[in-house]
Structures are given as structure tokens and as C-alpha cells.
Homo-oligomer: A and B are copies of this chain.
């Protein structure tokens, strides 16, 4: 079992119960959850939990580089535990989002046309295996 308190301390974030549980949830649910999904999952454990706390916490975690927000076209924030760079594939039929590895030809830390690339988000769209064969 991971020591989330330690992970938070290493980023100089004081480890409240709310922050620990939110981080734990994101680590165990690599499904790009929304604030609402996080709230619904944690409210049984922390009955006083407020959505505002989740918004605050996600903003803080993003600033400290623990998580990142996933660009999308839905007007609802999606968040992901920050791991080694990978891309997302969204099926335009079933709407599921899959993690996928693509050899991008973009290296973090280098420059392209004088733009210094610190991170990237590649969103691929099309049909997934199941929907293609139906």
C-alpha cells in the first residue's frame, strides 16, 4: 500500500485526509475522472466533503505536478495521475477513452521551432477495435 502522505510531503503539500483520499483515488482510477465522479466516490468515506475542496485540491496537485488535466471537447474537467507520457484514443462511437502509446517524435525538454516543449497531450480519435467490427 502506497504512502500517499509521504508523496504529498515530498511535494510540500500538507497531507489532510481529503488530499490523501483524492490522491489515492486518482492513483487507483486511471480513467480520467471528473470532479463529480471523484465526489460521488469519496462522499461515503468523507461525508462532509465539499466539491470546492476537490477543485482546490486538483488545482494544487496540478501546480505541483502530481496530476494533469486532460484537454477535451466536453466542457467538463478531466484529470489524470501524472505518469510517463502517453496518449489518449477516443472512440467516436462508444465514446470510451483508451490509453495508448504512440512513438511521437516529440521529446519533452527539447525545442521545436524555438518553442520549448515541456509536455504534450495527443488525442487521437476514430473507431476502437470493437466498434470497427460491428
Contact = CB atoms under 8 A, between A and B. Distances in A.
Interface string A90-110: 011000001011111110000
A106 B69 CA distance: 23
Interface stretch (A10-18, A37-45, A123-131): A123-131
Interface string A106-134: 10000011111111111111111100100
A89 interface: yes
Q: Give the oligomeric copy count.
A: 2
A84 interface: no
By secondary structure, the A interface counts as: strand
Contact of A100 (B113, B125, B129): B113
A100 to B, nearest CB: 6
